[in-house]
Amino acid sequence: MHRIRRELAPMRTIMSMEDGEWQFWAPREEVSPSYARIALDEGLQLEMSGAGKKGCYGSWHSRNIHIREKQNYAIQAEYQVSDVLHEHVSVYMIATWMDDEGTLLQRDYLELVEKNDEAWRTLQRTLDAPSRAAQLRLELTFRWSADGTVMWRNAQVQACEATTPRAVRVVTTYAKPTEDMDTNLKLMLDLLHMAGRHHPDIIVLTETFYEGFVQLPLVQRCQPIPGPLTEILSEQARALSSYILFTMYERDEGHIYNTAVLLDREGKIAGKYRKIHLPLYEAEMGVMPGNAHVVIDTDFGRMGILICHDQEFPESARVLALQGAEVIFIPTIGNGLLQTRARARDNGLHVVVAGCGGGANASRVIAPNGELIGYVQDQEMGVFAVDLNLDQRLYKYWLSVGPGNGEARSLFRKERRPDAYADLI
């Protein structure tokens, strides 16, 4: 498979800031922010201020825009804040989709994509109108900031052509490592050969497959990066024109790390991640923990990496999601099926696991809703290949948004309350 790059499709503006016919809304008068329309030479701006009310909550609502079901729409607006302590919590924009009778169908948060030099932020998203949709309303919201002010401008909706969905063919692998490094290397090469028959975009190998079970002192099992093992696997990546993700014990000066290495289609090192959460036995071996989460841009999308024990800690998967990961890969020795299903569901992302123990499902692929897509069924040695649509959006009725459909991927990121628990982390 080869990547299809996104390009801007021709757009036709169907609503601009000036023709939005904006109406102010608040759930109750006692929590209503103060608000104002401000006409400037450069265009209309809409203001809301907390008015000293800690529980303030209000929105500017556009007119209901007539749209067509399944049509692609690019939606955006800009905002600027002052004295807002927790901007992530207090400011948001939602697209609300309705049928021709005004019945709610679906609601979508827009995403922060840019901050410019004047401190204006851009919220933007391109969305397909859901089935039966006939109307769209934009909602520019400010809440829970007694002393803050938000100013909105340049809200617009444009009809555009649909983009080609981005697909990635992933192959996860399974085999039982031995206590001999030469045997393990042969098994790795055999697995890559099996995986190559599926013409993958990326192949994932088990955690420290090469040296993890070898009964030698750790200092005799580790290598630098680049080094002999990376060179051998780089040749395979070039031959298969595929990304390869594997982990190894890395020696870097006086330290040893459990490191995931991503090789690109040309065999070059595209990135690496050092395992952050070390189980006690590994720490007592003298392994040094990493201290940085890593998201790597590839030609098929943005990928995050966790290693084994990392999957037990929901914070790491959430950090990768917040950094823009579109799929999370987990080379592991343990078989934490419950944990990896939870990490997928927590963040609305695909999760790809390459394990080596624990019976069925050890190497598997999990959908963003936490459901198991498939796994390597051969408990001696095998691969599982599947095409993942990175643009797939999975909705659930009554998920946060009321009697309509909500999408976990955006809801769970936007509705976090870091202001309530950040000091505890």
pLDDT in tens, 238-258: 999 999 999 999 999 999 999
How far, in Å, CA of 237 to CA of 307, rounded? 21
pLDDT tens digits, 274-309: 999 999 999 999 999 999 999 999 999 999 999 999
Instruction: Judge contact between 226 and 261, C-beta under 8 A.
Output: no
Amino acid at residue number 261: V
Quick one: how many helices (H) and strands (E) in the chain?
Answer: 9, 27
pLDDT at 342: 97
Residues 296 and 361 in one domain: yes
Instruction: Please report whether residue 4 resides in a domain.
Output: no
- Answer whether residue 29 is part of any domain: yes
DSSP-derived 3-state class of residue 152 = strand
Same domain for 151 and 214?
no
**Cα first-last separation, the chain:** 41
Domain count, the chain: 2
Give the lowest-confidence range in 59-73, 191-205, 350-364: 350-364
- The tens digit of pLDDT for each residue in 192-215 reads 999 999 999 999 999 999 999 999
Domain co-membership, 214 together with 149: no
| pLDDT greater than 60 at residue 3 | no
Residue 5 counted as domain residue: no
pLDDT at 136: 98
Residue-wise pLDDT tens digits, 325-341: 999 999 999 888 999 99
| 341 in the same domain as 204 | yes
> Do 261 and 371 belong together in one domain?
yes
pLDDT in tens, 107-127: 999 998 877 767 899 999 999
CA geometry: angle 131, 132, 133, nearest 5 deg:
90
Q: Please state whether beta strands 167-175 and 202-204 pair in parallel, antiparallel, or not at all (unpaired).
A: parallel
- pLDDT confidence tier of residue 358, bands split at 50, 70 and 90: low
127 and 233 in a single domain? The answer is no
Whether residue 234 lies inside any domain: the answer is yes
pTM over 0.85: yes
- Closest by Cα among 28, 31, 83, 35 to 61: 35
Task: Give how far Cα 110 sits from Cα of 41, 51, 69, 126, 127, Å.
Answer: 27, 26, 19, 9, 10
pLDDT at 6: 45
162: number of CA atoms within 13 Å, CB side? 10
Q: Are residues 180 and 159 in the same domain?
A: no
| Residues 340, 215 share a domain | yes
Shared domain for 414 and 382, answered yes or no, is no
| Residue 1 lies inside a defined structural domain of this protein | no
Give the separation between CA 275 and CA 289, rounded to whole angstroms: 6
- Nearest partner of 102 among 315, 361, 404, 407, judged by Cα: 404
Residues 91, 150: contact at Cβ < 8 Å?
Answer: yes
The CATH number covering residue 146 comes to: 2.60.120.260
Strand partners, 135: 66, 98
pLDDT for residue 2: 39
Residues 144 and 219 in one domain: no
91 is a domain residue: yes
Closest by CA position to 171, among listed 386, 410, 414: 386
Q: Are 210 and 186 contacting, i.e. CB atoms less than 8 angstroms apart?
A: no
Q: Classify residue 149: in a domain, yes or no.
A: yes
Averaged confidence pLDDT in the chain = 94
Cβ neighbours, 10 Å, residue 215? 7
Q: Are residues 278 and 142 in the same domain?
A: no
Position 340 scores a pLDDT of 96
The C-alpha atoms of residue 70 and residue 117 are separated, in whole angstroms, by 36
Q: Which domain CATH number covers 265?
A: 3.60.110.10
Note down the domain range covering 79. Answer: 11-163+395-424
pLDDT grade for 164, boundaries at 50, 70 and 90: confident
- Flag whether 202 is in a domain: yes
pLDDT of residue 5: 40
Tokens of 164: 């080609």
Q: Are 367 and 420 in a shared domain?
A: no
Using one digit for the tens of pLDDT, what is the confidence trace for 48-60? 999 999 999 999 9
